[in-house]
Amino acid sequence: MNRGKYIVIEGPEGVGKTTQLHELARRLRAAGLPVRTLREPDSQSDLTARAIRQLTQDPRYPMNTRTEVLLYNAARAQSLQVIKQSVDHGVICLVDRNYLTTLAIQYYGRGDVPDYDTINSIISFAVGGIEPDLCVVLDAPVQVLRERLGDRYQAERYDNLDDAFLERVRSGYLWEAKQRKLPVVFATDDQTIVADNVWNLVKAELAVRDNSQPAVTSAPASVKEIIEQKTAATPAVSQDDEVLVTKETDGNYAITDAGKAYLAGAVTDTDGDVYAFSDKLSPITIAAAMARLSRRSDDMRITILDEFANKIDKDAQLLHRVITAYGDDSVQQLGGIHFVIENASNLLTKKLEWGRLAAYLEQSTRYIYFDQRDVHGKFRYHVPEHLKPNVKKQYVGAMDTIFELYSTMVRRLTDYVRTNDSTPEKERDIAWKGATKAQACDAVRDVLPVATKSTVGIFASGQAFESLIMHLLSDELPEAKLTGQSLLEQGRKIIPMFLERADKPERGGAMVAYRANTYSNVKELAHDYLPDNHSATAKEPVTLVDFWPKNEMLLVPDMLYEHSNLSLEQLQSEVNSWPYDKKTDVFKAYMGERFNRRHKPGRALEKAHYSWDLVCDYGIFRDLQRHRMVDDMNWQQLTPRYGYDVPKLIEDSGLIEQYEACFDISLKLHSLLQQNGYTLEAQYATLLGHKMRWKVTYNAREAFHLHELRTTPQGHPGYRKLVLEMHEKLAEVHPMLAEAMQFVNQDESPELTRLAGERYTQFKLSQL
């Protein structure tokens, strides 16, 4: 059995030991290692050590320093045996404090035990040779310690300690660290930086081989390999934990008082039939516990206490076994993860948002000026690193020029909109500023390149996350592949067990190869078999390619189905014999009396479908593509071929020359990239205002949502116009369904409604 590690975090009170200990434990657990967190000398699993510790902290029992030293070391002798037992079983014990605290406080701080050799002899007797593998000393100036301490020690023995005492204690720690060659980490930096510094020291220690183990012929190549070896070799550890649940003679389980106390911090209701989970249990643990529902008849809270509570840290393979036994895919659906991709090009954002079963948010071109430069003085656009040097130089020059034109235009247009707005001066509040800024940004966003960087936030299940990774890794675009690899690396720090197969040759590797090969093969056949379209413009922006049913009254049997005991075939036969007015009675009743656009008819409407072939600018597609409940969504490679439109506001403000200059630069850059063989990368040169072709299919119930939401006057005028045209074509084939979409907006002023929307937002904020 491999030996574990005994790691100590030391330092004066207020330096952040507990915070860093918990963060270190989190990182080690994410790596799949068995971890215990302890406080020395009052180990949580030793009653004697705990009782002695409580005695030393109780102001009702005055004692001199000699008594304190003896009692602390008596408790230490007890608790170190618990630590040794755990380490011998392969567990990494992370311990808050060790004997340095005794030296720092009783010797250096108080100074009334002047014999250094004697106090060290007492410590050595108590320790009995059980020394930490690594002791990290955290340090901070006294004024910082005092600020952090606040009133922490009211009612404890250390409630009246002055700064001079704290300075002596701090100096003691630093002197002992120097003499014993212990690493010191300065703890006034950001907590994450401190945690990274501690983590680096621990990784180095984990890479040190246990001398008691047999020698091997070759050393591991990295700390990652060390961790994987330890994880694979470490068995489950048995500890004398408090009993949380007992099995009665009748076979039922009873929750002990300790179990009830544990549940009180883990679930929102310990007795009721409906409850949620707190962050005491990790999402992966909750998912694994839920997976047991299929084969265990108990209350799930019993399952948690019996199988999971207090065991995860000690059995690194527990979750792995559960996930494997009860279906990797099904358990993956129960655990979710939030993650963020910074500096993603707009070309990449659509690939990130490709999956249907996830939630997405990205930076809006409506509320943000994209003319800010980063810390290196560069505009926010993606530069493919693999471009030839001469091509890259021209690429950067063209992009810089476009962004400089955008910056000038968006500021001037904002001023123009505000100057020419008819809103009285007294009503020009923060909502008015937001509305006028949005109006200007809406018009000028067309000149932003598809290379423009954005931030995307995603929430997805473990299964959807794995699917996204494999989708990106199979993509031809280098930016997508690199992002897929980064997502895999970062995801394994949080949900490693859900991503074990993501790049295994027989699982993720095979899936990536399958997707990449089929895409490449169909692309090659399309190139060989299909003619190219060299037309300069698209004739029809909206084409309803297909729809079903041809007669919307064919949906009536589905509307009646849940209220009948007839088969669907019998219902269809019965309804077919009805007169038209009888069918319309059912149809209208199913639509119901709708008071706002969120009142949507039932799922019978999901049977009706509409397939569209669309041509619109990339900015419009960018907004509409994020609708999740759609089918058959796909888009063609971006190109300047279909042209662009000039917004009326651009013409009215006299900015048409700068506007068109951006498209001229874009066209030249696109041609340059194609001529040099960068067909995929040429898409970065297109602008959000360039038109593109895409297709989508959705059902009638989604049509209620999409048509009514995307025609609201506060929406972007581009997609509002497109969706209105789609609605008109739907009305031609299904007039009753279109009529029921009563909140499709036809004629309100976009400017006024946008202002009303901004004012309502400000009103809600004021109420908070």
**Residue 488 maps to a domain:** no
Cα atoms in the 13 Å half-sphere on the side-chain side of 671: 7
Give the residue-averaged pLDDT of 423-445.
Answer: 86
**Residue 437 maps to a domain:** no
Mark whether 192 and 280 lie in a shared domain.
Answer: no
Mark whether 178 and 272 lie in a shared domain.
Answer: no
DSSP secondary structure of 205-222: HHTSPPTTSPP-SS--SS
pLDDT tens digit sequence for 450-461: 999 998 888 888
**Residue 428 maps to a domain:** no
Q: How confident is the model at residue 277 (pLDDT cuts 50, 70, 90)?
A: confident
Per cent of the chain over pLDDT 70 is 84
Distance of CA 412 to the CA centre of its chain: 37
The span from the CA of 37 to the CA of 43, in Å, is: 9
Q: Which of 114-118, 233-237, 262-266, 325-329 has the lowest mean pLDDT?
A: 233-237
Mark whether 181 and 258 lie in a shared domain.
Answer: no
Which SS3 state, helix, strand or coil, does residue 699 take? strand
What are the structure tokens assigned to 388, written together?
């030839």
- CB atoms under 10 Å from CB of 172, counted, come to 21
Nearest to 638 by CA among 623, 620, 617: 617
Q: pLDDT value at position 211? A: 45
- What are the residue ranges of helices labelled H in 41-190? 47-57, 65-88, 99-102, 116-127, 142-149, 163-180
Q: pLDDT value at position 359? A: 84
How many domains is the chain partitioned into structurally?
3
DSSP secondary structure of 251-293: S-EEE-HHHHHHHHHHBS-SSSS---B-TTS-HHHHHHHHHGG
**Residue 507 maps to a domain:** no
Give the residue-averaged pLDDT of 408-435.
Answer: 88
**Residue 505 maps to a domain:** no
- Look at residue 44 and tell me whether its pLDDT is greater than 70: no
Mark whether 122 and 172 lie in a shared domain.
Answer: yes
The span from the CA of 378 to the CA of 604, in Å, is: 53
Last residue of a domain, one of 313, 332, 351: 332
Mark whether 216 and 277 lie in a shared domain.
Answer: no
Mark whether 282 and 200 lie in a shared domain.
Answer: no
The span from the CA of 348 to the CA of 341, in Å, is: 10
The span from the CA of 357 to the CA of 350, in Å, is: 14
The span from the CA of 337 to the CA of 388, in Å, is: 38
Q: pLDDT value at position 217? A: 34
Nearest to 407 by CA among 386, 366, 383, 379: 379
Domain around 315: 245-332
Nearest to 347 by CA among 458, 538, 526, 476: 476
**Residue 606 maps to a domain:** yes
Mark whether 177 and 31 lie in a shared domain.
Answer: yes
Cα atoms in the 13 Å half-sphere on the side-chain side of 441: 18
Q: Which of 226-240, 277-291, 633-647, 653-667 has the lowest mean pLDDT?
A: 226-240
Mark whether 19 and 94 lie in a shared domain.
Answer: yes
Nearest to 473 by CA among 460, 461, 486, 464: 486
- 404 contact partners, CB below 8 Å, separation of at least 6: none
Find out whether 325 and 456 touch, Cβ atoms under 8 Å: no
Last residue of a domain, one of 332, 354, 387: 332
The span from the CA of 422 to the CA of 391, in Å, is: 48
717-733 vs 700-709: helix crossing angle, rounded to 10: 140
Q: How confident is the model at residue 234 (pLDDT cuts 50, 70, 90)?
A: very low
pLDDT tens digit sequence for 591-625: 999 999 999 999 999 999 999 999 999 999 998 98
Find out whether 379 and 373 touch, Cβ atoms under 8 Å: yes
Q: How confident is the model at residue 213 (pLDDT cuts 50, 70, 90)?
A: very low
Phi, psi for 601 (deg, rounded to 5): -60, 175
- Look at residue 241 and tell me whether its pLDDT is greater than 80: no
Q: pLDDT value at position 226? A: 34
Last residue of a domain, one of 317, 332, 347: 332
Q: pLDDT value at position 41? A: 67
Find out whether 59 and 157 touch, Cβ atoms under 8 Å: yes
What are the structure tokens assigned to 346, written together?
């707009």
- Look at residue 231 and tell me whether its pLDDT is greater than 60: no
Q: pLDDT value at position 230? A: 38
Find out whether 435 and 754 touch, Cβ atoms under 8 Å: yes
Give the residue-averaged pLDDT of 577-590.
Answer: 96
pLDDT tens digit sequence for 464-480: 888 899 999 999 999 99
Residue 308 CB burial class (10 angstroms; 0-12, 13-18, ≥19)? buried
Q: How confident is the model at residue 232 (pLDDT cuts 50, 70, 90)?
A: very low
In the sheet that holds 453-461, the strands lie side by side as 336-345, 453-461, 358-362
The answer to whether the peptide bond before residue 557 is cis (omega within 30 degrees of 0) is no
Question: Between β-strands 92-96 and 245-247, what pairing exists: parallel, antiparallel or unpaired?
Answer: unpaired
Find out whether 227 and 33 touch, Cβ atoms under 8 Å: yes
Q: pLDDT value at position 194? A: 92
pLDDT tens digit sequence for 103-124: 888 888 887 677 888 888 899 9
Mark whether 218 and 283 lie in a shared domain.
Answer: no
Give the residue-averaged pLDDT of 314-334.
Answer: 57
- Look at residue 222 and tell me whether its pLDDT is greater than 50: no
Q: pLDDT value at position 659? A: 95
Q: How confident is the model at residue 766 (pLDDT cuts 50, 70, 90)?
A: low
Mark whether 136 and 48 lie in a shared domain.
Answer: yes
**Residue 408 maps to a domain:** no
Q: How confident is the model at residue 369 (pLDDT cuts 50, 70, 90)?
A: confident
Bridge partners, 338 (sequence order)? 459
The span from the CA of 430 to the CA of 435, in Å, is: 9
Computed over every residue of the chain, the mean pLDDT equals 83
The span from the CA of 265 to the CA of 161, in Å, is: 34
Q: pLDDT value at position 322? A: 59
Length of the chain: 768
Q: pLDDT value at position 747? A: 66
Q: pLDDT value at position 229? A: 42
- Look at residue 544 and tell me whether its pLDDT is greater than 90: yes
DSSP secondary structure of 290-333: HHGGGG--S-HHHHIIIIITTTTTT-TTHHHHHHHHT-HHHHHT
- 243-252, 272-281, 300-309, 350-359, range with greatest mean pLDDT: 350-359
CATH number at 109 reads 3.40.50.300
The span from the CA of 608 to the CA of 554, in Å, is: 9
The span from the CA of 757 to the CA of 763, in Å, is: 10
Mark whether 74 and 222 lie in a shared domain.
Answer: yes
pTM over 0.95? The answer is no
Per cent of the chain over pLDDT 90 is 43
* CA atoms 106, 107, 109, 114: torsion sign: positive
In the numeric block, the tokens 């001229």 are attached to: 664
What are the structure tokens assigned to 352, written together?
């990130």
Mark whether 258 and 136 lie in a shared domain.
Answer: no
- 87-96, 495-504, 666-675, range with greatest mean pLDDT: 666-675
In the numeric block, the tokens 């309803």 are attached to: 544
Q: Which of 498-507, 618-627, 693-702 has the lowest mean pLDDT?
A: 498-507
**Residue 90 maps to a domain:** yes
- 21 contact partners, CB below 8 Å, separation of at least 6: 9, 37, 94, 96
Nearest to 639 by CA among 622, 613, 615: 615
Nearest to 705 by CA among 760, 628, 631: 628
Phi, psi for 295 (deg, rounded to 5): -130, 15
- Look at residue 214 and tell me whether its pLDDT is greater than 70: no
